[in-house]
């Protein structure tokens, strides 16, 4: 029988995440015939229920203020001395290469679980974090050549219960709030009333971690609230997740569980290790995240209402992940450790129908997967300096706007890479119909010719569909580049006596005529007959 000893920890300082994923791996190892035990600092009262029946060794009488790797390795090896150990699995940010060198020198095989891209002395490495194209190369030169690397969310350590499951249907729109095993419950408390106003017929599951701050106060306040069910002492959240329609909370380990079930989520960071590249999250099907603690709770609640209104659309967005979470990670890791075979699944391929505009340029309609890249591009300084509002657009505001927007958006690519976004929309004002539009670059490499190709396509496209409708626009007087281009394609400046001047001022409310040109492009049907 293969014997596996885990060195991990859980408590007020470290939270529950490391222990939780190790327990899932241990359960799968035991299903495949291994014997698993644990070595942790101490068993704090709040985590005893999570450990369950596994044999657990405590290295200290009380939680240490800091960990000395050499001393810890000595205590750990003392436990190993009387046992046959085939694999040691380490999941603890405090333990690094000094500890590993001391333990591996005694002949033990070490598997490290880490996501910090550190150097390790180990025989196997698990890092379930997705880092885009860099995922496979993150540890080059940082681990021994013989080390078996299991990298990416295909190795997320989830219970097999999540495999091929979909949330059960229910009439009530259920929202789960969670900060993980710890966190300040004032954050959840501040969310509840705005959610009640935005979604009065919904129900909230508030997952209370054993190490949460303000736990007693929160429970006392909401135990008798029909809108909220506090979940206390829960060691398995699957029975609640399968009834959940929306997850709101910290971007910790629960993210893999909700992605396995394709539950829409809005997440935020409450710790530095939760700061994540948005595009990497999008690859696993999660598009709504901010790298900060939330400050405006009413905006989050309003966005939750948008998700409820557009639920099927957002579910479909999540189901198109480049890197799906299939809840087979524990089995893959077990195969890697017990048989030496590593076989990650293939990534999905993305494809969109694109229109060729030139040898270098293609164009396609925007899709929901563009939601974050669209905002990142719009917020570039090169774009903001020429707009009616030079402020950055808040990400939550953008999320809400995206699902209400009536404009048609398109993405121009150059040599396969995003070049610029261009958009248009037909508007009515006091019985006047007109088109408005705009464009903004995705990078500083975009030049005049790129923009002109996109603008020519847009005008030809709209002339076919709306030949009797004029275009109106405003152009920053400092932006001679855009003024020249608009002159070239037929825009002319208008004065306050023009019939469309007031319509222009009404639509572009922030465009002071002292700072912006007001321009119009006459309807092409009218122009062709004049």
CATH number of residue 511's parent domain: 3.40.630.30
Are residues 156 and 174 located together in one domain of the fold? no
Per-residue model confidence (pLDDT) at position 395: 97
Are residues 174 and 281 located together in one domain of the fold? yes
> To 5 degrees, how large is the angle CA 91–CA 92–CA 96?
105
Are residues 127 and 22 located together in one domain of the fold? yes
CB 420 within 8 A of CB 449: no
The boundaries of the domain holding residue 107 are 2-160
Per-residue model confidence (pLDDT) at position 511: 95
Q: What is the CATH number of the domain that holds 116?
A: 3.40.50.11190
Q: Report CA 509 to chain centroid distance, whole Å.
A: 34
Give the total residue count for the chain.
Answer: 530
Are residues 413 and 482 located together in one domain of the fold? yes
Are residues 61 and 192 located together in one domain of the fold? no
Domain assignment present for residue 419? The answer is yes
Q: Can you read off the two tokens belonging to residue 170?
A: 């229910």
Number of domains in the chain: 3
DSSP letter at 191 equals H
Q: Which residue, 300, 320, 340, sits at the end of a domain?
A: 320
* Residue 426, helix vs strand vs coil: strand
Instruction: Give the integer Cα–Cα distance in Å for 102 and 120.
Output: 12
Q: What is the CATH number of the domain that holds 178?
A: 3.40.50.2000
Are residues 382 and 502 located together in one domain of the fold? yes
Q: Which residue, 114, 132, 160, sits at the end of a domain?
A: 160
Domain assignment present for residue 463? The answer is yes
Domain assignment present for residue 337? The answer is no
CB 149 within 8 A of CB 143: yes
pLDDT digits (tens, 9 = 90+) for 147-206: 999 999 999 999 989 987 777 778 899 999 999 888 899 999 999 999 999 999 999 999
Are residues 202 and 91 located together in one domain of the fold? no
Domain assignment present for residue 393? The answer is yes
Report the DSSP pairing between strands 35-40 and 55-58.
parallel
Residue with tokens 């508030």: 206
Domain assignment present for residue 32? The answer is yes
| Short-list 344, 350, 346, CA closest to 319 | 350
Are residues 180 and 280 located together in one domain of the fold? yes
- Sign of the Cα torsion 214, 218, 221, 224 reads negative
Question: If phi over 0 gives left and psi between -120 and 50 gives alpha, with beta otherwise, what is residue 361?
Answer: beta
Are residues 152 and 169 located together in one domain of the fold? no
pLDDT digits (tens, 9 = 90+) for 125-145: 999 999 999 999 999 999 999
Task: Find the DSSP H helices in 385-476.
Answer: 395-402, 448-465
Q: Which long-range contacts (CB under 8 A, 24 or more apart) does 13-16 make?
A: 13/63, 14/92, 14/93, 15/180, 15/181, 15/182, 15/209, 15/211, 15/252, 16/47, 16/50, 16/180, 16/181, 16/182, 16/209, 16/210, 16/211
Q: Which residue, 143, 160, 177, sits at the end of a domain?
A: 160
pLDDT digits (tens, 9 = 90+) for 258-311: 999 999 999 999 877 677 899 999 999 999 999 998 989 999 999 999 999 999
Residues of the chain with pLDDT under 70: 273, 525-530
Are residues 372 and 292 located together in one domain of the fold? no
Domain assignment present for residue 314? The answer is yes
Are residues 191 and 259 located together in one domain of the fold? yes
Domain assignment present for residue 326? The answer is no
Judge residue 118's burial from the number of C-beta atoms within 10 Å of its C-beta, 0-12 exposed, 13-18 middle, 19 or more buried.
middle
Per-residue model confidence (pLDDT) at position 273: 67
Question: If phi over 0 gives left and psi between -120 and 50 gives alpha, with beta otherwise, what is residue 69?
Answer: alpha
CB atoms within 10 A of CB 329: 29
Judge residue 411's burial from the number of C-beta atoms within 10 Å of its C-beta, 0-12 exposed, 13-18 middle, 19 or more buried.
buried
Instruction: Give the integer Cα–Cα distance in Å for 482 and 484.
Output: 5
Per-residue model confidence (pLDDT) at position 515: 95
* Residue 476, helix vs strand vs coil: strand
Strands (E), 197-264: 203-208, 228-232, 246-250
Are residues 40 and 126 located together in one domain of the fold? yes
CB 435 within 8 A of CB 504: no
């Amino acid at each position: 029988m293969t014997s596996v000893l885990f060195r991990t920890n859980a408590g007020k300082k470290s939270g529950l995440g490391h222990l939780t994923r190790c327990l899932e791996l241990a359960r799968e190892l035991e299903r495949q015939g291994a014997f698993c035990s644990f070595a942790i600092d101490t068993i704090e009262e709040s985590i005893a229920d999570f450990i369950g029946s596994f044999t657990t060794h405590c290295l200290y009488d009380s939680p240490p203020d800091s960990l000395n790797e050499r001393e810890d390795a000595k205590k750990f090896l003392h436990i190993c001395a009387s046992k046959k150990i085939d694999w040691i699995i380490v999941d603890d940010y405090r333990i690094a290469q000094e500890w590993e060198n001391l333990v591996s020198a005694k002949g033990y095989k070490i598997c490290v679980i880490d996501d910090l891209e550190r150097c390790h002395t180990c025989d196997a490495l698990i890092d379930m974090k997705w880092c885009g194209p860099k995922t496979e190369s993150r540890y080059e030169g940082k681990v021994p050549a013989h080390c078996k690397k299991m990298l990416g969310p295909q190795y997320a350590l989830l219970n097999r219960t999540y495999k091929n499951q979909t949330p059960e249907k229910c009439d009530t729109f259920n929202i789960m709030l969670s900060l993980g095993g710890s966190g300040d419950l004032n954050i959840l408390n501040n969310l509840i009333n705005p959610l009640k106003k935005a979604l009065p017929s919904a129900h909230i599951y508030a997952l209370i971690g054993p190490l949460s701050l303000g736990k007693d106060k929160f429970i006392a306040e909401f135990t008798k609230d029909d809108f909220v069910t506090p979940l206390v002492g829960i060691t398995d959240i699957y029975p609640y997740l399968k009834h959940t329609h929306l997850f709101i909370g910290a971007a910790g380990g629960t993210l893999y569980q909700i992605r396995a079930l394709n539950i829409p989520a809005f997440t935020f960071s409450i710790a530095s290790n939760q700061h994540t590249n948005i595009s990497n999250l999008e690859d696993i099907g999660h598009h709504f995240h901010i790298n900060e603690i939330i400050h405006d709770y009413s905006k989050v609640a309003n966005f939750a209402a948008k998700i409820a209104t557009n639920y099927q659309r957002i579910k479909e967005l999540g189901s198109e992940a480049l890197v799906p979470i299939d809840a087979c990670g524990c089995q893959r890791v077990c195969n890697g450790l017990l048989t030496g075979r590593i076989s990650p699944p293939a990534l999905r391929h993305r494809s969109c129908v694109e229109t060729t505009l030139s040898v270098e340029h293609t164009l396609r309609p925007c899709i929901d997967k563009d939601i974050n890249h669209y905002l990142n591009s719009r917020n570039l300084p090169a774009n903001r300096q020429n707009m009616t509002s030079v402020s950055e657009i808040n990400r939550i505001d953008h999320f809400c706007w995206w699902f209400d927007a009536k404009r048609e958006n398109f993405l121009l690519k150059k040599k396969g890479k995003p070049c610029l976004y261009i958009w248009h929309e037909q508007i009515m004002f006091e019985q006047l119909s007109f088109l408005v539009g705009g464009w903004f670059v995705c990078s500083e490499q975009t030049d005049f010719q790129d923009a002109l190709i996109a603008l020519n396509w847009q005008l030809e496209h709209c002339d076919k569909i709306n030949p009797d409708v004029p275009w109106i626009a405003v152009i920053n007087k400092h932006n001679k580049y855009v003024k020249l281009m608009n002159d070239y394609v037929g825009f002319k400046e208008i004065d306050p006596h023009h019939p469309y001047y007031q319509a222009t001022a009404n639509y572009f409310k922030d465009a002071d005529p002292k700072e912006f040109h007001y321009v119009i492009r006459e309807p092409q049907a009218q122009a062709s007959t004049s």
